[in-house]
Chain A
Amino acid sequence: MIDVRDVRRRFRNARGVGPVDLRIESGERVVLMGPNGAGKTTLLRLLATVDRASQGEILWDGNASRTAARRFVGVAPDRAVEESALTGRQATHFWCSQWVGGQRAASLVEEALEIFGLLGVADEPVATYSFGMSRRLALTQALAHQPRLALLDEPTAGLDPEGVRALHDFIVTRARNGWVTVVASNDCGFAGAACDRVVFLHEGHVVRDASPATLLGELAPVRRAELKVFGDPDLAALAAIPGVGGVERHNGSISIELLTDTALGSVVAVADAPGGRMRALTLHTPDLSDCFRSLTGHELIELPR
Protein backbone atom coordinates (compact mmCIF):
# COMPACT_ATOMS: atom_id res chain seq x y z
CA MET A 1 0.00 0.00 0.00
CA ILE A 2 2.66 2.53 1.07
CA ASP A 3 6.37 2.11 0.62
CA VAL A 4 8.57 4.80 2.15
CA ARG A 5 12.12 4.37 0.87
CA ASP A 6 15.00 6.27 2.42
CA VAL A 7 12.85 9.38 2.71
CA ARG A 8 14.27 12.52 4.21
CA ARG A 9 12.74 15.93 4.77
CA ARG A 10 14.64 18.25 7.09
CA PHE A 11 14.05 21.90 7.87
CA ARG A 12 16.54 24.68 8.56
CA ASN A 13 16.25 24.12 12.30
CA ALA A 14 17.35 20.49 11.67
CA ARG A 15 13.91 19.26 12.64
CA GLY A 16 11.95 17.09 10.27
CA VAL A 17 12.26 13.45 9.44
CA GLY A 18 14.59 10.97 7.87
CA PRO A 19 16.10 9.05 6.49
CA VAL A 20 13.10 6.80 7.07
CA ASP A 21 12.10 3.43 5.59
CA LEU A 22 8.59 2.22 6.25
CA ARG A 23 6.29 -0.23 4.55
CA ILE A 24 2.57 -0.25 5.34
CA GLU A 25 0.33 -3.02 4.04
CA SER A 26 -3.41 -2.98 3.33
CA GLY A 27 -5.60 -3.15 6.41
CA GLU A 28 -2.93 -1.95 8.84
CA ARG A 29 -3.69 0.52 11.63
CA VAL A 30 -0.48 2.40 12.30
CA VAL A 31 0.24 5.00 14.95
CA LEU A 32 3.23 7.33 14.74
CA MET A 33 4.36 8.28 18.24
CA GLY A 34 7.10 10.55 19.47
CA PRO A 35 7.63 13.80 21.38
CA ASN A 36 7.15 17.22 19.79
CA GLY A 37 9.61 17.64 16.94
CA ALA A 38 10.12 13.90 16.49
CA GLY A 39 8.85 14.09 12.90
CA LYS A 40 5.33 12.64 13.21
CA THR A 41 3.52 15.47 11.46
CA THR A 42 6.28 15.86 8.86
CA LEU A 43 6.04 12.16 7.97
CA LEU A 44 2.26 12.37 7.91
CA ARG A 45 2.42 15.39 5.57
CA LEU A 46 4.76 13.48 3.26
CA LEU A 47 2.39 10.50 3.20
CA ALA A 48 -0.52 12.89 2.61
CA THR A 49 1.29 14.38 -0.43
CA VAL A 50 1.26 17.83 1.18
CA ASP A 51 5.07 18.04 1.08
CA ARG A 52 7.71 16.51 -1.15
CA ALA A 53 10.61 14.50 0.22
CA SER A 54 14.00 16.11 -0.31
CA GLN A 55 15.50 12.63 -0.66
CA GLY A 56 14.16 9.13 -1.30
CA GLU A 57 10.74 8.24 -2.61
CA ILE A 58 7.29 7.25 -1.44
CA LEU A 59 5.20 4.80 -3.42
CA TRP A 60 1.45 4.75 -2.97
CA ASP A 61 0.11 1.49 -4.40
CA GLY A 62 3.45 1.11 -6.19
CA ASN A 63 3.13 4.53 -7.81
CA ALA A 64 5.23 7.58 -6.92
CA SER A 65 2.71 10.04 -8.40
CA ARG A 66 1.31 12.34 -5.73
CA THR A 67 -1.59 13.26 -8.01
CA ALA A 68 -2.58 9.61 -8.39
CA ALA A 69 -2.31 9.06 -4.62
CA ARG A 70 -4.75 11.88 -3.95
CA ARG A 71 -7.55 9.77 -5.41
CA PHE A 72 -7.59 7.50 -2.37
CA VAL A 73 -6.15 9.60 0.47
CA GLY A 74 -8.15 11.31 3.21
CA VAL A 75 -6.39 13.73 5.55
CA ALA A 76 -7.59 15.08 8.89
CA PRO A 77 -5.18 17.83 9.95
CA ASP A 78 -4.60 18.71 13.60
CA ARG A 79 -6.72 21.82 13.22
CA ALA A 80 -10.13 22.00 11.55
CA VAL A 81 -10.57 24.06 8.41
CA GLU A 82 -12.60 27.19 9.14
CA GLU A 83 -16.00 26.59 7.57
CA SER A 84 -18.08 28.65 9.98
CA ALA A 85 -20.49 30.02 7.38
CA LEU A 86 -21.64 26.56 6.25
CA THR A 87 -23.69 23.98 8.10
CA GLY A 88 -22.03 20.74 9.16
CA ARG A 89 -23.82 18.86 6.39
CA GLN A 90 -22.83 21.41 3.71
CA ALA A 91 -19.21 21.48 4.88
CA THR A 92 -18.97 17.68 4.86
CA HIS A 93 -20.72 17.41 1.50
CA PHE A 94 -18.34 19.95 0.00
CA TRP A 95 -15.32 17.82 0.85
CA CYS A 96 -16.93 14.48 0.07
CA SER A 97 -18.00 15.73 -3.35
CA GLN A 98 -14.37 16.41 -4.24
CA TRP A 99 -13.99 12.62 -4.53
CA VAL A 100 -17.48 11.23 -4.97
CA GLY A 101 -20.34 12.65 -6.98
CA GLY A 102 -24.13 12.74 -6.92
CA GLN A 103 -26.36 10.62 -4.72
CA ARG A 104 -23.47 8.48 -3.50
CA ALA A 105 -21.84 11.55 -1.92
CA ALA A 106 -25.10 12.45 -0.17
CA SER A 107 -25.46 8.97 1.34
CA LEU A 108 -21.78 8.83 2.41
CA VAL A 109 -22.16 12.21 4.11
CA GLU A 110 -25.18 10.99 6.10
CA GLU A 111 -23.30 7.83 7.07
CA ALA A 112 -20.24 9.77 8.27
CA LEU A 113 -22.34 12.31 10.19
CA GLU A 114 -24.08 9.45 11.96
CA ILE A 115 -20.84 7.61 12.79
CA PHE A 116 -19.32 10.70 14.40
CA GLY A 117 -22.53 11.71 16.16
CA LEU A 118 -23.19 14.91 14.24
CA LEU A 119 -26.49 14.01 12.58
CA GLY A 120 -28.51 15.94 15.17
CA VAL A 121 -26.59 19.17 14.55
CA ALA A 122 -25.86 18.66 10.86
CA ASP A 123 -28.03 21.59 9.75
CA GLU A 124 -26.61 24.04 12.27
CA PRO A 125 -23.88 26.46 11.19
CA VAL A 126 -20.39 25.24 12.00
CA ALA A 127 -19.83 28.56 13.79
CA THR A 128 -22.15 27.34 16.56
CA TYR A 129 -20.22 24.09 17.11
CA SER A 130 -18.24 23.48 20.28
CA PHE A 131 -14.54 22.63 20.03
CA GLY A 132 -15.26 18.93 20.40
CA MET A 133 -17.93 19.05 17.70
CA SER A 134 -15.51 20.87 15.37
CA ARG A 135 -13.00 18.07 15.93
CA ARG A 136 -15.65 15.49 15.06
CA LEU A 137 -16.49 17.51 11.96
CA ALA A 138 -12.82 17.56 10.90
CA LEU A 139 -12.83 13.74 11.02
CA THR A 140 -16.16 13.53 9.23
CA GLN A 141 -14.86 15.77 6.45
CA ALA A 142 -11.66 13.77 6.09
CA LEU A 143 -13.25 10.33 6.13
CA ALA A 144 -16.72 10.70 4.60
CA HIS A 145 -15.52 9.71 1.12
CA GLN A 146 -14.15 6.45 2.57
CA PRO A 147 -10.52 6.85 1.53
CA ARG A 148 -8.42 3.70 1.30
CA LEU A 149 -5.66 5.60 3.10
CA ALA A 150 -6.66 7.82 6.02
CA LEU A 151 -4.06 10.05 7.66
CA LEU A 152 -5.12 11.55 10.97
CA ASP A 153 -3.06 14.08 12.92
CA GLU A 154 -3.82 14.05 16.67
CA PRO A 155 -7.38 12.81 16.01
CA THR A 156 -8.35 12.38 19.67
CA ALA A 157 -7.38 15.91 20.71
CA GLY A 158 -10.55 17.62 21.89
CA LEU A 159 -12.72 14.53 21.42
CA ASP A 160 -14.91 13.36 24.30
CA PRO A 161 -14.80 9.64 25.28
CA GLU A 162 -17.80 8.90 23.08
CA GLY A 163 -16.07 10.51 20.10
CA VAL A 164 -12.86 8.56 20.79
CA ARG A 165 -14.88 5.33 20.93
CA ALA A 166 -16.59 6.16 17.61
CA LEU A 167 -13.20 6.86 16.02
CA HIS A 168 -11.77 3.62 17.40
CA ASP A 169 -14.67 1.58 15.99
CA PHE A 170 -14.43 3.37 12.67
CA ILE A 171 -10.71 2.65 12.33
CA VAL A 172 -11.24 -1.04 13.19
CA THR A 173 -14.07 -1.29 10.64
CA ARG A 174 -11.89 0.36 8.00
CA ALA A 175 -9.16 -2.21 8.61
CA ARG A 176 -11.64 -5.05 8.00
CA ASN A 177 -12.22 -3.53 4.54
CA GLY A 178 -8.48 -3.62 3.91
CA TRP A 179 -8.14 0.15 4.26
CA VAL A 180 -5.13 1.72 5.93
CA THR A 181 -5.25 4.26 8.75
CA VAL A 182 -2.14 6.11 9.88
CA VAL A 183 -2.47 8.19 13.02
CA ALA A 184 -0.01 10.65 14.54
CA SER A 185 -0.80 10.71 18.23
CA ASN A 186 0.70 10.40 21.69
CA ASP A 187 -2.59 9.26 23.19
CA CYS A 188 -1.27 5.95 24.55
CA GLY A 189 -4.67 4.52 25.49
CA PHE A 190 -6.15 5.19 22.07
CA ALA A 191 -3.04 4.12 20.18
CA GLY A 192 -2.78 0.84 22.06
CA ALA A 193 -6.44 0.01 21.51
CA ALA A 194 -7.11 1.28 17.99
CA CYS A 195 -3.83 0.50 16.24
CA ASP A 196 -2.08 -2.77 15.55
CA ARG A 197 1.30 -1.23 14.84
CA VAL A 198 3.30 1.42 16.67
CA VAL A 199 6.10 3.36 14.99
CA PHE A 200 8.17 5.28 17.53
CA LEU A 201 9.89 8.32 16.08
CA HIS A 202 12.69 10.16 17.84
CA GLU A 203 14.61 13.09 16.37
CA GLY A 204 13.29 12.24 12.91
CA HIS A 205 14.23 8.55 12.95
CA VAL A 206 12.21 5.38 13.46
CA VAL A 207 13.53 3.93 16.69
CA ARG A 208 11.08 1.02 16.96
CA ASP A 209 8.29 -0.46 14.85
CA ALA A 210 6.19 -3.22 16.45
CA SER A 211 2.72 -4.13 17.67
CA PRO A 212 1.51 -2.62 20.97
CA ALA A 213 1.39 -6.12 22.48
CA THR A 214 5.01 -6.79 21.56
CA LEU A 215 6.18 -3.46 22.93
CA LEU A 216 4.28 -3.81 26.20
CA GLY A 217 5.42 -7.43 26.53
CA GLU A 218 9.03 -6.28 26.50
CA LEU A 219 8.49 -4.15 29.59
CA ALA A 220 8.86 -5.59 33.06
CA PRO A 221 5.37 -5.85 34.56
CA VAL A 222 6.12 -3.13 37.07
CA ARG A 223 3.35 -0.83 38.16
CA ARG A 224 3.99 2.54 39.66
CA ALA A 225 2.05 4.20 42.45
CA GLU A 226 2.07 7.98 42.63
CA LEU A 227 1.31 9.18 46.15
CA LYS A 228 0.42 12.69 47.09
CA VAL A 229 0.89 13.22 50.84
CA PHE A 230 0.71 15.87 53.53
CA GLY A 231 3.80 16.02 55.72
CA ASP A 232 6.80 13.71 55.59
CA PRO A 233 6.09 10.01 55.31
CA ASP A 234 8.82 7.57 56.24
CA LEU A 235 10.51 6.91 52.88
CA ALA A 236 12.85 4.32 54.36
CA ALA A 237 9.84 2.38 55.68
CA LEU A 238 8.20 2.53 52.25
CA ALA A 239 11.37 1.27 50.56
CA ALA A 240 11.61 -1.58 53.05
CA ILE A 241 8.17 -2.98 52.19
CA PRO A 242 8.49 -6.38 50.45
CA GLY A 243 7.48 -6.01 46.80
CA VAL A 244 8.54 -2.35 46.57
CA GLY A 245 11.29 -1.85 43.99
CA GLY A 246 12.17 1.77 44.49
CA VAL A 247 10.94 5.00 46.05
CA GLU A 248 11.53 8.48 44.65
CA ARG A 249 10.31 11.84 45.85
CA HIS A 250 9.45 14.58 43.33
CA ASN A 251 7.87 17.92 44.25
CA GLY A 252 5.16 16.92 46.69
CA SER A 253 4.58 13.43 45.34
CA ILE A 254 6.23 10.07 45.87
CA SER A 255 6.74 7.59 43.04
CA ILE A 256 6.89 3.95 44.12
CA GLU A 257 7.70 0.93 41.95
CA LEU A 258 5.41 -1.98 42.81
CA LEU A 259 6.95 -5.36 41.96
CA THR A 260 3.91 -7.19 43.34
CA ASP A 261 0.27 -6.16 43.69
CA THR A 262 0.22 -7.27 47.33
CA ALA A 263 2.68 -4.51 48.25
CA LEU A 264 0.05 -1.83 47.62
CA GLY A 265 -1.81 -2.37 50.91
CA SER A 266 1.36 -1.97 52.97
CA VAL A 267 2.34 1.13 50.98
CA VAL A 268 -1.01 2.76 51.79
CA ALA A 269 -0.68 1.83 55.45
CA VAL A 270 2.79 3.38 55.73
CA ALA A 271 1.93 6.47 53.69
CA ASP A 272 -1.17 7.14 55.76
CA ALA A 273 0.61 6.66 59.08
CA PRO A 274 1.28 9.57 61.47
CA GLY A 275 3.91 11.89 60.04
CA GLY A 276 2.44 11.80 56.58
CA ARG A 277 -1.21 11.68 55.57
CA MET A 278 -2.10 10.49 52.11
CA ARG A 279 -4.06 12.91 49.87
CA ALA A 280 -4.24 10.92 46.65
CA LEU A 281 -3.06 7.67 45.14
CA THR A 282 -2.68 7.06 41.41
CA LEU A 283 -1.80 3.65 40.03
CA HIS A 284 0.09 3.68 36.78
CA THR A 285 0.15 0.53 34.63
CA PRO A 286 2.94 0.42 32.00
CA ASP A 287 1.82 1.83 28.67
CA LEU A 288 3.39 2.86 25.38
CA SER A 289 4.93 5.97 26.95
CA ASP A 290 6.96 3.66 29.23
CA CYS A 291 8.06 1.68 26.16
CA PHE A 292 9.22 4.91 24.53
CA ARG A 293 11.06 5.98 27.69
CA SER A 294 12.83 2.66 28.01
CA LEU A 295 13.88 2.81 24.34
CA THR A 296 15.08 6.40 24.14
CA GLY A 297 15.48 7.63 27.71
CA HIS A 298 13.14 10.50 26.80
CA GLU A 299 9.55 11.22 27.74
CA LEU A 300 6.91 10.78 25.03
CA ILE A 301 5.20 13.97 26.12
CA GLU A 302 7.82 16.47 27.15
CA LEU A 303 6.52 19.25 29.31
CA PRO A 304 7.83 22.76 28.65
CA ARG A 305 10.60 23.72 31.07
Chain B
Amino acid sequence: MLMRELLVSASRPRALLLKTLIPLVLTLPLLLGHAPVFWAAMLLTVLAAMTGAVGSAVTIARARESGLLTRLALTPRPAWRTAGSWVAGAVAVDSLQLAPSIVALLVLAPVSPMAAVAIVLSVIATLVVANVLGCVVSVLGGGPGEVLLDVVVVLAPLLFLGGLFTGVPPTGWRAVAALVDPFSYVHAAFITSLGGAASYDAVAVISAGLITIAASGMLLAVLARRVLERA
Protein backbone atom coordinates (compact mmCIF):
# COMPACT_ATOMS: atom_id res chain seq x y z
CA MET B 1 0.00 0.00 0.00
CA LEU B 2 2.86 2.36 0.91
CA MET B 3 4.59 1.61 -2.39
CA ARG B 4 1.32 1.97 -4.27
CA GLU B 5 0.72 5.44 -2.83
CA LEU B 6 4.27 6.49 -3.71
CA LEU B 7 3.95 5.07 -7.23
CA VAL B 8 0.62 6.83 -7.79
CA SER B 9 2.10 10.16 -6.63
CA ALA B 10 5.26 9.69 -8.68
CA SER B 11 3.18 8.98 -11.78
CA ARG B 12 1.72 12.49 -11.57
CA PRO B 13 4.85 14.67 -11.29
CA ARG B 14 3.07 17.89 -12.23
CA ALA B 15 0.46 17.42 -9.51
CA LEU B 16 3.17 16.60 -7.00
CA LEU B 17 5.16 19.69 -8.02
CA LEU B 18 2.10 21.92 -7.63
CA LYS B 19 1.27 20.39 -4.24
CA THR B 20 4.83 21.13 -3.16
CA LEU B 21 4.85 24.66 -4.55
CA ILE B 22 1.57 25.75 -2.95
CA PRO B 23 2.85 25.37 0.67
CA LEU B 24 6.11 27.00 -0.40
CA VAL B 25 4.46 30.08 -1.93
CA LEU B 26 2.45 30.48 1.27
CA THR B 27 5.45 29.95 3.55
CA LEU B 28 8.06 32.12 1.81
CA PRO B 29 6.15 35.44 2.02
CA LEU B 30 5.52 34.76 5.72
CA LEU B 31 9.20 34.18 6.38
CA LEU B 32 10.63 36.86 4.09
CA GLY B 33 7.98 39.41 5.02
CA HIS B 34 8.51 38.90 8.78
CA ALA B 35 4.83 38.28 9.44
CA PRO B 36 3.71 38.39 13.11
CA VAL B 37 5.03 35.22 14.75
CA PHE B 38 1.74 33.99 16.21
CA TRP B 39 -0.14 34.29 12.94
CA ALA B 40 2.68 32.91 10.81
CA ALA B 41 2.88 29.88 13.11
CA MET B 42 -0.89 29.51 12.92
CA LEU B 43 -0.87 29.50 9.13
CA LEU B 44 1.94 26.92 8.99
CA THR B 45 0.07 24.68 11.44
CA VAL B 46 -3.21 24.98 9.52
CA LEU B 47 -1.29 24.20 6.33
CA ALA B 48 0.17 20.99 7.80
CA ALA B 49 -3.15 19.89 9.32
CA MET B 50 -5.18 20.57 6.19
CA THR B 51 -2.58 18.92 3.93
CA GLY B 52 -2.86 15.72 5.93
CA ALA B 53 -6.58 15.62 6.69
CA VAL B 54 -8.03 16.85 3.41
CA GLY B 55 -5.68 14.74 1.30
CA SER B 56 -6.42 11.48 3.02
CA ALA B 57 -10.17 12.06 3.52
CA VAL B 58 -10.75 12.94 -0.12
CA THR B 59 -8.49 10.13 -1.35
CA ILE B 60 -10.34 7.61 0.83
CA ALA B 61 -13.73 8.91 -0.25
CA ARG B 62 -12.66 8.53 -3.89
CA ALA B 63 -11.28 5.06 -3.17
CA ARG B 64 -14.60 4.11 -1.61
CA GLU B 65 -16.52 5.38 -4.63
CA SER B 66 -14.26 3.49 -7.04
CA GLY B 67 -14.62 0.20 -5.14
CA LEU B 68 -10.97 0.11 -4.12
CA LEU B 69 -11.76 0.06 -0.40
CA THR B 70 -14.23 -2.80 -0.78
CA ARG B 71 -11.62 -4.83 -2.61
CA LEU B 72 -9.00 -3.99 0.01
CA ALA B 73 -11.41 -5.16 2.71
CA LEU B 74 -11.63 -8.53 0.93
CA THR B 75 -7.91 -9.25 1.18
CA PRO B 76 -6.69 -11.49 3.98
CA ARG B 77 -4.45 -8.77 5.42
CA PRO B 78 -5.57 -7.37 8.78
CA ALA B 79 -7.50 -4.12 8.29
CA TRP B 80 -5.16 -2.23 10.63
CA ARG B 81 -2.22 -3.20 8.47
CA THR B 82 -3.87 -2.13 5.23
CA ALA B 83 -5.12 1.16 6.68
CA GLY B 84 -1.81 1.70 8.48
CA SER B 85 0.25 1.30 5.33
CA TRP B 86 -2.20 3.57 3.50
CA VAL B 87 -1.70 6.29 6.12
CA ALA B 88 2.07 5.72 6.07
CA GLY B 89 2.07 6.23 2.30
CA ALA B 90 -0.07 9.35 2.59
CA VAL B 91 2.17 10.77 5.33
CA ALA B 92 5.26 10.07 3.19
CA VAL B 93 3.73 11.94 0.23
CA ASP B 94 2.51 14.80 2.45
CA SER B 95 5.97 15.07 4.04
CA LEU B 96 7.45 15.33 0.57
CA GLN B 97 5.02 18.15 -0.20
CA LEU B 98 5.86 20.07 2.98
CA ALA B 99 9.61 19.34 2.97
CA PRO B 100 10.64 22.41 0.90
CA SER B 101 8.61 24.67 3.20
CA ILE B 102 10.13 23.17 6.34
CA VAL B 103 13.63 23.40 4.86
CA ALA B 104 12.97 27.04 3.95
CA LEU B 105 11.81 27.66 7.52
CA LEU B 106 14.91 26.04 9.03
CA VAL B 107 17.23 27.93 6.65
CA LEU B 108 15.62 31.35 6.98
CA ALA B 109 14.91 31.08 10.71
CA PRO B 110 17.72 28.89 12.11
CA VAL B 111 17.13 27.22 15.49
CA SER B 112 19.03 24.84 17.78
CA PRO B 113 19.31 21.22 16.59
CA MET B 114 16.88 20.17 19.34
CA ALA B 115 14.30 22.72 18.22
CA ALA B 116 14.80 21.61 14.58
CA VAL B 117 14.12 18.00 15.57
CA ALA B 118 11.03 19.19 17.44
CA ILE B 119 9.72 20.99 14.35
CA VAL B 120 10.31 18.04 12.03
CA LEU B 121 8.82 15.49 14.44
CA SER B 122 5.83 17.65 15.30
CA VAL B 123 5.06 18.22 11.62
CA ILE B 124 5.22 14.47 10.98
CA ALA B 125 3.01 13.85 14.03
CA THR B 126 0.57 16.46 12.73
CA LEU B 127 0.46 14.76 9.34
CA VAL B 128 -0.10 11.38 11.00
CA VAL B 129 -2.93 12.55 13.23
CA ALA B 130 -4.46 14.63 10.42
CA ASN B 131 -4.37 11.68 8.02
CA VAL B 132 -5.91 9.39 10.62
CA LEU B 133 -8.60 12.00 11.29
CA GLY B 134 -9.16 12.20 7.55
CA CYS B 135 -9.64 8.42 7.40
CA VAL B 136 -12.03 8.46 10.32
CA VAL B 137 -14.00 11.44 9.01
CA SER B 138 -14.34 9.74 5.62
CA VAL B 139 -16.51 7.13 7.35
CA LEU B 140 -19.11 9.81 8.10
CA GLY B 141 -19.52 11.34 4.69
CA GLY B 142 -20.53 10.37 1.20
CA GLY B 143 -18.59 11.67 -1.77
CA PRO B 144 -15.30 13.58 -1.77
CA GLY B 145 -17.05 16.98 -1.68
CA GLU B 146 -19.10 16.09 1.38
CA VAL B 147 -16.07 14.64 3.12
CA LEU B 148 -14.18 17.88 2.54
CA LEU B 149 -16.83 19.76 4.51
CA ASP B 150 -16.77 17.13 7.27
CA VAL B 151 -13.00 17.54 7.59
CA VAL B 152 -13.31 21.30 8.08
CA VAL B 153 -16.10 20.84 10.63
CA VAL B 154 -13.98 18.38 12.66
CA LEU B 155 -10.62 20.11 12.23
CA ALA B 156 -11.64 23.72 12.94
CA PRO B 157 -12.64 23.14 16.60
CA LEU B 158 -9.47 21.10 17.18
CA LEU B 159 -7.35 23.92 15.80
CA PHE B 160 -9.22 26.40 17.99
CA LEU B 161 -8.72 24.25 21.09
CA GLY B 162 -5.02 24.02 20.20
CA GLY B 163 -4.89 27.77 20.68
CA LEU B 164 -4.12 28.57 17.08
CA PHE B 165 -6.63 31.37 16.64
CA THR B 166 -6.76 33.04 20.08
CA GLY B 167 -3.92 31.53 22.09
CA VAL B 168 -4.45 29.39 25.18
CA PRO B 169 -5.52 30.85 28.53
CA PRO B 170 -3.09 29.83 31.33
CA THR B 171 -5.84 28.11 33.36
CA GLY B 172 -9.27 26.58 32.89
CA TRP B 173 -10.66 23.86 30.66
CA ARG B 174 -9.14 25.31 27.50
CA ALA B 175 -5.67 25.03 29.01
CA VAL B 176 -6.36 21.35 29.70
CA ALA B 177 -7.81 20.86 26.21
CA ALA B 178 -4.72 22.43 24.64
CA LEU B 179 -2.52 20.02 26.62
CA VAL B 180 -4.11 17.02 24.89
CA ASP B 181 -4.56 18.71 21.50
CA PRO B 182 -1.70 17.65 19.19
CA PHE B 183 -2.01 20.81 17.09
CA SER B 184 -1.01 23.05 20.02
CA TYR B 185 2.44 21.41 20.06
CA VAL B 186 3.26 21.92 16.38
CA HIS B 187 2.01 25.48 16.76
CA ALA B 188 4.41 25.94 19.68
CA ALA B 189 7.27 24.46 17.64
CA PHE B 190 6.64 26.94 14.82
CA ILE B 191 6.39 29.86 17.29
CA THR B 192 9.77 28.88 18.77
CA SER B 193 11.28 28.58 15.32
CA LEU B 194 10.06 32.04 14.34
CA GLY B 195 11.57 33.60 17.48
CA GLY B 196 8.47 33.79 19.67
CA ALA B 197 7.85 32.54 23.19
CA ALA B 198 5.94 29.25 23.06
CA SER B 199 4.00 27.45 25.77
CA TYR B 200 6.03 24.25 25.37
CA ASP B 201 9.76 23.58 25.08
CA ALA B 202 11.38 21.26 22.52
CA VAL B 203 11.34 18.23 24.84
CA ALA B 204 7.62 18.61 25.46
CA VAL B 205 6.98 19.01 21.72
CA ILE B 206 9.04 15.89 20.88
CA SER B 207 7.33 13.84 23.60
CA ALA B 208 3.91 15.02 22.47
CA GLY B 209 4.79 14.16 18.87
CA LEU B 210 5.73 10.59 19.79
CA ILE B 211 2.60 10.16 21.91
CA THR B 212 0.46 11.60 19.09
CA ILE B 213 1.88 9.13 16.57
CA ALA B 214 1.30 6.19 18.94
CA ALA B 215 -2.25 7.30 19.83
CA SER B 216 -3.12 7.90 16.17
CA GLY B 217 -1.88 4.43 15.34
CA MET B 218 -4.07 2.90 18.03
CA LEU B 219 -7.12 4.90 16.91
CA LEU B 220 -6.58 3.75 13.34
CA ALA B 221 -6.15 0.13 14.42
CA VAL B 222 -9.49 0.25 16.24
CA LEU B 223 -11.38 1.93 13.38
CA ALA B 224 -9.58 0.43 10.37
CA ARG B 225 -12.21 -2.25 9.71
CA ARG B 226 -14.98 0.37 9.65
CA VAL B 227 -12.95 2.63 7.38
CA LEU B 228 -12.44 -0.18 4.88
CA GLU B 229 -15.84 -1.83 5.05
CA ARG B 230 -18.16 1.15 5.11
CA ALA B 231 -20.16 0.81 1.91
Give the interface SS of chain A, mostly helix, strand, loop or mixed.
loop
B165 CB, min distance to chain A CBs, angstroms:
37
Q: Which of A73, A85, A98 contacts B77 (CB 8 A)?
A: A98
B76 touches A67 (CB 8 A): yes
A79 touches B67 (CB 8 A): yes
Contact with B along A138-153 (1 / 0, CB 8 A): 0000000000000000
B50 contacts A by Cβ under 8 Å? no
A90-B7, A94-B4 are known contacts. Are A81 and B74 too (CB-CB below 8 A)? no
Collect the chain B residues with CB atoms within 8 Å of residue A86's CB: 4, 7-8, 11
A70 touches B74 (CB 8 A): yes
Within 8 A of A (CB), among B89-125: none
Q: How far is the CA of A49 from the CA of B7 in the complex (A)?
A: 29
A99 touches B75 (CB 8 A): yes
> Total number of A-B contacts with CB less than 8 angstroms?
43
Q: Which of B8, B11, B76 contacts A70 (CB 8 A)?
A: B76
Collect the chain B residues with CB atoms within 8 Å of residue A49's CB: 74
Collect the chain B residues with CB atoms within 8 Å of residue A70's CB: 74-76
B66 contacts A by Cβ under 8 Å? yes
A98 touches B7 (CB 8 A): no
A75 contacts B by Cβ under 8 Å? yes
Name the interface size band of chain B: 10 to 19
B81 CB, min distance to chain A CBs, angstroms:
10
Q: How far is the CA of A82 from the CA of B68 in the complex (A)?
A: 7
Q: How far is the CA of A47 from the CA of B71 in the complex (A)?
A: 14
Q: How far is the CA of A84 from the CA of B72 in the complex (A)?
A: 17
A81 touches B67 (CB 8 A): yes
A81-B66, A82-B68, A86-B7 are known contacts. Are A99 and B76 too (CB-CB below 8 A)? yes
A75-B71, A77-B71 are known contacts. Are A85 and B76 too (CB-CB below 8 A)? no
A192 contacts B by Cβ under 8 Å? no
Q: How far is the CA of A122 from the CA of B70 in the complex (A)?
A: 24
Within 8 A of A (CB), among B29-77: 66-68, 70-77
Collect the chain A residues with CB atoms within 8 Å of residue B77's CB: 98
A139 CB, min distance to chain B CBs, angstroms:
13
Q: List residues of A whose CB falls within 8 A of some B CB.
A: 48-50, 67, 70-71, 73, 75, 77, 79, 81-82, 85-86, 90, 94-95, 98-99, 125
Task: Give 15 new A-B contacts, CB below 8 A, not counting A48-B74, A71-B76, A85-B7.
Answer: A50-B74, A70-B75, A75-B71, A75-B74, A77-B70, A81-B67, A85-B11, A85-B12, A86-B7, A90-B4, A90-B7, A95-B71, A98-B72, A99-B75, A125-B11
Pull 13 A–B residue pairs with CB atoms less than 8 Å apart, ordered by A. A48-B74, A50-B73, A70-B74, A73-B74, A81-B67, A81-B71, A82-B66, A85-B8, A85-B11, A86-B11, A90-B4, A98-B76, A125-B11
Q: Kindly list the 5 A-B residue pairs having the minimum CB-CB distance in the complex, ordered from nearest.
A: A98-B75, A82-B66, A85-B11, A85-B8, A71-B76
